[in-house]
Every structure is written in structure tokens, then in C-alpha cells.
């Protein structure tokens, strides 16, 4: 087998990154755009001593789980890798990804529950982050997602996984940026004005917060005029903010944001609580699926503890802590982002919640100085997971259960392995489908710390 060879293969299984897996002469081949039980003609695009990558040239015999994507751009846009696979089978594959990670990385033989499906599989994504560039000759603005494995933007006019209002806002920006002298970003030359457009939409109110990420360190008049034009055009827009990011980085948002017109937040409602979400705030992109997770955690706490004291770490806007507060004696929240803490305090006031204590600091530093013991510790770290030091401190502070919420099965498995080596015991793992049509899957693991004490 050589690079660019064309070969007919049967897709035997599925990888944790959403590739079909075939074998040719004993070598594993990861096939983009393939479904288990497909028979396909592939082209080898990369070859190493231990594995190969390939793309589908032709579907010879489709898998019974292969369907027609509902988005015309699915094959070129990198956002929905699995949209050509039946949704119920997507859930089976995601469960398999979790099972494989827990077994191979954590070394645990534990039953993985069936994933809780997303309440909606279209128009479910209430946060979009479009990179922006422009064409070389006409200077026409391009905005959309990247093609898989590239930084080439697919210019998306309609995306069926996000609210329709987002399409209209993006189209206005694309059509009128030139009128205000706003240039698209050139990543190679690090020139131009508009790097990204971020839109947060409220499922509860339909209002939108638009964030223009610019290659600048300060406001300029034509940008201010453009922001005001967007706000004036759409009654659904509650505010337009500018985020300054002039660094040579792949990180989307810079550290500083400024509200130009309207409000610098939207309101979202989860369970019976109203939250404020700002430009730099972490909040789940699929609020209806997020509500299922919050309810699951709340029900677990209510069923297993009587008037507990809970630690909510990596708390963001303290969504977990606020949602469970009415079944707790006290919630102690820890979050290092200042804006998130300010929004959390505003949410507490708006919901008349008085038993949540907020600490604006790094979780590891808080752990190190904290002396209190907690009935349960909620860990909701970023995709990279927790440090070993943070896990040690969580075990030290927890006298009951750790509720570990993770969007990455691999780092979850790694951290669960460490916790079990320290004497804790994994009781259950419940997946939730937050990101339909992708290989990503959210999980809530319940870890018993009593064995460790």
C-alpha cells in the first residue's frame, strides 16, 4: 500500500475522532466520511508505519445506518462530521467511544448508560463562532466554518443546526462590512479588521448578543458605526460587543471586550432559573440538552443527600451551583474568570438566591487554602481535564461524592483512572448528547470518595 492508492474496503468500526476504521494488510486505516458496515472505495491520503488516513471516493454499498445529510454543505464543512449517519446510531457510536476510553485508558470495567439524546437535532446550537476572511480580488467577506483539517473557510449562507436568525445576522455582516470599511482578516499576513463573529442566542427569549472579534487593541469610528448598524437592523439583537484580539493565536476571544450598543448579555432560562450570559462567558451551546444534565445532577444530589454543602469548581457562571442551590444548605462556587463571577452574582440577585458563596480565583489555589469538607464536589473542567493536584485536593475536600462533568471521554478516563488509584470508586457514567452530528459527547461520572477517607 502506498500514498494515493485507491482501494476497496469494508468499514469495520469507528474511532474516537469520528473516522471509520478499515484494515488493509493488517494496517489500520482511518477513513474520513465513512460509517461502520460501509463498503467504500478510498484514497490513501497519509501513510505511516503504524496507520494510514484515507478519504472516501465512492460508496460502493452503503451501511444501513447511512442517510442523506440534511445540510447541503455537510461534506465540505467541518462542523457536522456525522450528519450522514442515522441519529440513533450516532448515539450508539458515541456510547462506544466512551466505553472504549474508559476501558482502554482508565482500565475500568463499568457499564456505560445509554446516552440521553438531545431534545433537538436541528437548530440546537445557540452559540456560533465563525472565522472571517475575504477574497483576494473582490475583497468579498467570507464567514463560516473551516473545511476539515484546513483553515479554508466554507462561506455558509444557511446552517440548519443553528437558529435561523444567526444566518440573517451573518449575512448582514457579510454584505455590509465593506460599506463601513471593515476588512476581513488575513491569517497569513495578520492584516485586516474582523477575525471572528460570535453570536450567543437565547433559547428562552430569542435575543442575540453579537460579538465582533477584531484585530485591534482599541475602538475605531468605522467599527463603532458598523456595530450600531447591526443593532439597528435587528430587533432580535440585544447588544453588540467588540472583543479585541490582535495576537497571533488560534484562540478566538481576546481578554478585553467592550459593549458598543445595547446590553452586554443575554438571558437564558435553565430549569426555573434565569442566567445572564456575556461575551466571554462559558455556557453550554445546547441549552436544552444542558438542562437535562443540570436536572440529572440536581436529582442525584436531592436523592443522595439531606441539606448538603456542595463545592462547584470550574464553575463558569455557577450554572450547576445555582441550579442545585434549592436542594442544598450551601453551595460554594469557584471560578477564575471575573466577568463570569460578576454575571453569577447578578443571577443570584435576580433569582433571590442567598445560599451560594462565590470565589473569583483559580480552582487549584482555592483547593489548596480551603479547610472545609463538602458532601459533594462538582468538577466541570475545560476539555483538557483536571490536574493531578486538583484531583488530590478534590479528594481531600470531599467526604461524599465527586460529580465529574466532562466533554472529553479521553481526559475523563485519564482522571477517573487517577481517582481510582487514590482509592475512590466510579459508581456510574451517564453520557448526554450535547453536540449532535459530531463525535463529541458529554458525560457525568459519579465517583464515591468514601473509600478514600
Q: Which tens digit of pLDDT belongs to each residue from 26-58?
A: 999 999 999 999 999 999 999 999 999 999 999
Question: Residue 194 in contact with residue 185, Cβ under 8 Å?
Answer: yes
**Summary mean pLDDT of the chain:** 94
Q: Check pLDDT > 50 for residue 349.
A: yes
Quote the pLDDT of residue 56.
Answer: 96
Q: Check pLDDT > 70 for residue 357.
A: yes
Strand bridging mode 51-61 / 442-448? unpaired
Quote the pLDDT of residue 388.
Answer: 92
Question: Residue 400 in contact with residue 449, Cβ under 8 Å?
Answer: yes
Tens-place pLDDT, residues 142-201? 999 998 778 889 999 999 999 999 999 999 999 999 999 999 999 999 999 999 999 999
Helices (H), 205-255: 221-233
In 3D space, the residue among 147, 110, 114, 119 whose CA is nearest the CA of residue 131 turns out to be 147
As to burial, measured by CB atoms within 10 angstroms (0-12 exposed, 13-18 middle, 19+ buried), residue 133 is buried
Angle between helices 87-104 and 409-421 (to 10 degrees): 30
Interacting residues of 371 by C-beta distance below 8 A, sequence separation 6+: none
Mind listing the domains of the chain with CATH numbers?
A: 6-66 (2.40.50.140), 92-119+286-452 (3.40.50.150), 127-270 (2.40.50.1070)
Quote the pLDDT of residue 451.
Answer: 54
Q: Check pLDDT > 70 for residue 366.
A: yes
Distance CA 15, CA 29 (A): 10
**Mean pLDDT, rounded, for 206-213:** 98
Quote the pLDDT of residue 93.
Answer: 98
pLDDT confidence bin for 74, thresholds 50/70/90 = very high
pLDDT confidence bin for 453, thresholds 50/70/90 = very low
**Mean pLDDT, rounded, for 426-434:** 97
Question: What pTM was computed for the model?
Answer: 0.93
Q: Is 451 helix (H, G, I), strand (E, B) or coil?
A: helix
Question: Residue 93 in contact with residue 85, Cβ under 8 Å?
Answer: yes
**Mean pLDDT, rounded, for 344-355:** 93
Tens-place pLDDT, residues 193-206? 999 999 999 999 99
E strand or H helix at 141: strand 141-146
Quote the pLDDT of residue 184.
Answer: 96
Sheet of 194-201, strands arranged across: 153-155, 141-146, 127-134, 194-201, 208-214, 237-244, 256-262
**Mean pLDDT, rounded, for 196-224:** 96
pLDDT confidence bin for 280, thresholds 50/70/90 = confident
Q: Check pLDDT > 60 for residue 284.
A: yes
Give me the catalytic one of 77, 407, 436, 449. Answer: 407
Q: Check pLDDT > 90 for residue 339.
A: no
Phi and psi, residue 324, nearest 5°:
-100, 0
Q: Is 247 helix (H, G, I), strand (E, B) or coil?
A: coil
- Annotated catalytic residue 407: yes
Q: What is the DSSP string of 4-21?
A: T-EEEEE--EE-TTS-EE
Amino acid at each position: 500500500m502506498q500514498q494515493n492508492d485507491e482501494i476497496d474496503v469494508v468499514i469495520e468500526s469507528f474511532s474516537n475522532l469520528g473516522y471509520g476504521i478499515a484494515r488493509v494488510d493488517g494496517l489500520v486505516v482511518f477513513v474520513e466520511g465513512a460509517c461502520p458496515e460501509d463498503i467504500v472505495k478510498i484514497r490513501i491520503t497519509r501513510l505511516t508505519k503504524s496507520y494510514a488516513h484515507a478519504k472516501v471516493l465512492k460508496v460502493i454499498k452503503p451501511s444501513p445506518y447511512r442517510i442523506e445529510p440534511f445540510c447541503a454543505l455537510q461534506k465540505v464543512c467541518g462542523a457536522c462530521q456525522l450528519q450522514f449517519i442515522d441519529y440513533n446510531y450516532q448515539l450508539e457510536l458515541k456510547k462506544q467511544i466512551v466505553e472504549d476510553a474508559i476501558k482502554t485508558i482508565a482500565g475500568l470495567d463499568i457499564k456505560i448508560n445509554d446516552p440521553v439524546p438531545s431534545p433537538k437535532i436541528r437548530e440546537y446550537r445557540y452559540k456560533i463562532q465563525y472565522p472571517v476572511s475575504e477574497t483576494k480580488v473582490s475583497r468579498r467577506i467570507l464567514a463560516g466554518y473551516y473545511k476539515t483539517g484546513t483553515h479554508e473557510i466554507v462561506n455558509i449562507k444557511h446552517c440548519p443546526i443553528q437558529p435561523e436568525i444567526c444566518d440573517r445576522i451573518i449575512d448582514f455582516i457579510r454584505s455590509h462590512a465593506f460599506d463601513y470599511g471593515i476588512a476581513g482578516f488575513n491569517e497569513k499576513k495578520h492584516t485586516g479588521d474582523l477575525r471572528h463573529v460570535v453570536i450567543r442566542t437565547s433559547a428562552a427569549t430569542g435575543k442575540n448578543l453579537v460579538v465582533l472579534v477584531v484585530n485591534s487593541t482599541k475602538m475605531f469610528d468605522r467599527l463603532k458605526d458598523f456595530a450600531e448598524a447591526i443593532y439597528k437592523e435587528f430587533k432580535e439583537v440585544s447588544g453588540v460587543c467588540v472583543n479585541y484580539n490582535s495576537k497571533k493565536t488560534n484562540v478566538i476571544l481576546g481578554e478585553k471586550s467592550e459593549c458598543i450598543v445595547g446590553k452586554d448579555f443575554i438571558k437564558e432560562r435553565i430549569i426555573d432559573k434565569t442566567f445572564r450570559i456575556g461575551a466571554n462567558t462559558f455556557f453550554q451551546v445546547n441549552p436544552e440538552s444542558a438542562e437535562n444534565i443540570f436536572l440529572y445532577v440536581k436529582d442525584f444530589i436531592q436523592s443522595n443527600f439531606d441539606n448538603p454543602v456542595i463545592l462547584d469548581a470550574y464553575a463558569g457562571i455557577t450554572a450547576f451551583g445555582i441550579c442545585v442551590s434549592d436542594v442544598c444548605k450551601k453551595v460554594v462556587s469557584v471560578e477564575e474568570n471575573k466577568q463570569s463571577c460578576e454575571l453569577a452574582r447578578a443571577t443570584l440577585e435576580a433569582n433571590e438566591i442567598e445560599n451560594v458563596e462565590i470565589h473569583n480565583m483559580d480552582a487549584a489555589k482555592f483547593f489548596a487554602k480551603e479547610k472545609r469538607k463538602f458532601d459533594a464536589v462538582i468538577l466541570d473542567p475545560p476539555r483538557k481535564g483536571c490536574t493531578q493536584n486538583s484531583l488530590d485536593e478534590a479528594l481531600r475536600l470531599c467526604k461524599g461524592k465527586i460529580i465529574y462533568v466532562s466533554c472529553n471521554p479521553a481526559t475523563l478516563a485519564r482522571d477517573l483512572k487517577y481517582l481510582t488509584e487514590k482509592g475512590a470508586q466510579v459508581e456510574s457514567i451517564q453520557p448526554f448528547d450535547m453536540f449532535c452530528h459530531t463525535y463529541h459527547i458529554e458525560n457525568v461520572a459519579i465517583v464515591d470518595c468514601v473509600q478514600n477517607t
